[in-house]
Amino acid sequence: MKIAIDISQICYQGSGVARYVEQLVEHMIKNDDKNQYLLYGNSMRQKKILLDFIYKMKKLNSNIENKIIAMPQTLADILWNKLHILPIENLIGEVDIFHASDWVEPPVKKALKVTTIHDLLVFKYPGYFTQEIIDTQKRRISWVLAESNMVIVDSHTTKNDLIDLFDFPKDKIKVVYPGISSNFRRQSEEKIREVREKFSLKNPYILSVGTREPRKNVDKTIEAFDKIKDLFDFDLVIVGKLGWGPDKRSGDDRVKLLGYVDDKYLPSLYSAASCFVYPSLYEGFGFPILEAMACGSGVVTSKGGSLSEIGGKYAVYIDPLDSSSIASAILKVIKGLDKKTINDAASWARSFNWDHTAREIIKIYNSLH
């Protein structure tokens, strides 16, 4: 079969969706010697990111085809989500399967269509979004529901949301857990020292990682830190670029906003953290909690939904709307989790394996054709 995959989302470096596409494509190419792949992307300003990624993939398999279109996302939304014209084959040629992202849904001529839906946040919590974003997502999901031969979701939580909100047929939804990179493991003391020096992290610290936007609940993390900071000499380190919504800052010099940090530094940042805090209000999956566990950090995260599904029995759960609940959980972790709990959590996190994810999605492709 010839399979086309939309890789446009890797332009949003540092995001969970970018990491998903990069890792999935790389491991499918490594695990599939029968099907042929075409990597498709559209971007006006970030073409170099797409081309660099394709170059890297062609080192793994020189037979990969690619097609990059200089098209802004606003035009893609109008053409495909709104007007729903210009079949994807007109741009990339004949393919057997087109794997769409959860951004745009181009029509197809003959190809079977698979769509990955990472979460349904905009429909669960519309108050976080502008009306323009809501309208765009409504248009997109209408074509997913009407045309996709199979929808892949990252968790049973998202599967249940898709059924509850849209009465989508259960037999057209497959739950395939993403993996985490093998780079996420406990780092050496030398690497930890190097990353501390690079980011001027002299004190022990509590770590938060994720794009800074309302649902990530950074303000509650800062409130929780304020409640307990006089009890110890820890800092709060917040990693992640500003997404949208108000820029939550603190006048406290013990709150360190590092902004976007390249993935190569994250394993050491996780490894050095005394506690990892992730009180997100809603996630389709939750990469950071597994990454932190794999690096040996104790994890505090929100109770319920996909975070409890993914964290299993290895996280300390909190009410994300209650800063006192978050503060108490942080204290529990920094006072020390036993070594067995930390080791078991790391083993659990490593069971989320990209090779397995890739093989499961290849099975889905083969079952459709």
In one letter, which amino acid is 177? Y
Helix (H) or strand (E) holding 3: strand 2-6
Residue 228: strand, helix, or coil: helix
- Residue 212's pLDDT is what? 67
- Residue 250's pLDDT is what? 54
Residues 6+ apart with CB under 8 A from 183: 263, 264, 267
Pick the CATH number of 189-350 from 3.40.50.2000, 1.10.3720.10, 1.10.10.10, 2.30.30.30: 3.40.50.2000
Q: Where do the structural domains in the chain lie, given as residue ranges? A: 2-179+353-368, 189-350
In one letter, which amino acid is 59? K
Residues 6+ apart with CB under 8 A from 67: 38, 39, 40, 41, 91, 92, 93
* Residue 343, token pair as written in the block: 């080791």
In one letter, which amino acid is 173? I
- Residue 234's pLDDT is what? 93
d(CA 174, CA 129): 27
Q: Alpha helix locations (H) across the chain?
A: 16-31, 47-60, 73-76, 89-92, 121-124, 131-147, 156-166, 189-198, 218-228, 266-272, 287-294, 305-311, 323-334, 339-350, 354-368
Per-residue pLDDT reduced to its tens digit, 66-80? 999 988 888 988 999
- Residue 24's pLDDT is what? 96
Phi (first) and psi of residue 14, to 5 degrees? 90, -10
Which residues of the chain are under the pLDDT cut of 70?
212, 214, 241-251
Angle among Cα 283, 115, 171 to the nearest 5 degrees reads: 90
CATH superfamily of 2-179+353-368: Glycogen Phosphorylase B; (3.40.50.2000)
- Residue 245's pLDDT is what? 47
- Residue pair 213/232 in contact by the 8 Å Cβ criterion: no
Same fold, 2-179+353-368 and 189-350: yes
- Residue 242's pLDDT is what? 63
Residues 6+ apart with CB under 8 A from 100: 6, 106, 113, 114, 115, 116, 144, 148
In one letter, which amino acid is 238? I
- Residue pair 2/36 in contact by the 8 Å Cβ criterion: yes
- Residue 239's pLDDT is what? 92
